[in-house]
Structure 1
Amino acid sequence: MPRQFGLHFRNKDELLLALVNASHEEELANTPPPADDWANDLMQIAIHTHDAFLRHPRVGALSAARTARRENEFRTVERKLDCMRRAGLNDTDAARYHRVFADAVLSYSAMDASLAALPPDVREADLRAWQTDYLTLPADRYPNIARVAPRFVGLDDPQNFVTAVQLLIEQIRARVEARRALPGRIE
């Protein structure tokens, strides 16, 4: 995050909101400019948001639920809404899907940041549990876990986040296609 020396904050909350805004600034600086593919643009926004949270895990863990109400946040919302509109969503759906998409990206990013911010021994124990503890549960009590546990992926596997974002983008695409298929639809 950019260093901002000489700034004074009235309280910790004001400082946190400035850090959230700086995180948005970092995300925007690393996200490529919009291209012709709205879905790829949304994916890029999500990836760079997630990356910013992981670069600053203590801030990321605290910032998902906060609204900075500052320029960089406004710019990120504008970018996501642009993607929603280019996807073909009407205003009502664009507003709703933006909210869900943004909250999911922020929430997942905060969860991963929280994991990264844990003390190393605690983090390793949590990660290891999915590779050891779950594999030893009795199949008669936990038949579904016993069947699937050998296929569990790590909590920190980066593909988990990408898969979640892909699912959201697929749902947006499906929503647009379903609307287009409606006879006499009004946008």
Structure 2
Amino acid sequence: MKVYLNKWRSGTVNNEQWQAIIQNDKNYDGLFYYAVKSTGIFCRPSCKSRPPKKENVRIYTEAKEALEQGFRPCKRCKPTGLRLPDEEWITQIKAYIDNHYNDSLTLHTLADIGHGSPYHLQRTFKKVLGISPMEYMQQIRINKAKEYLVTTNKPLVEIGAAIGMANIPYFITVFKKVTGLTPFQYRKKEGHPHE
């Protein structure tokens, strides 16, 4: 396998490398590393994480190149034994939630995106931030809902959909649990400018 090292350069993924990545082929470990632009993480070809989109993949022949380009080592496959510090890992997961709070995110989805196990993510997130990933996402969603309630006259259905909580009874229940008020009461109390 080492014969391929000379023909490969850092850059975009070729078909052989792509096949190694999607098949988690450990025979290619050490020949190249792949980094994923959308997550900021780099892995070994054998990594069991969810396959990335091909257009987001960048190839590096050495782990240090990926590090120099700002990519962080995967928590799951630990390329060359490197490990992303917990605080940095949680910062990346937090940033992902901040940018995708309106998506249908679960602990498993977040763990997959962050290249870790759900159990490890839950435990580490709580250790670093004091709350679980789902509690954090709920805070982001409710804060966004408050913003919409005060600055727009959108109906609850639209606000719920915009923050990733399309189930309106659930949205109202969570909102009241967090704020002590229903969304309607909150809008009225905060002096919605359009009413």
Same fold per superposition (TM over 0.5): no
What TM-score comes out, normalization by structure 1 length? 0.26
Structure exhibiting the larger radius of gyration computed from Cα positions: 2
Instruction: Between the two structures, name the one with larger relative contact order (CA 8 Å, sep ≥ 6).
Output: 1
Between Structure 1 and Structure 2, the one with more helix by share is: 1
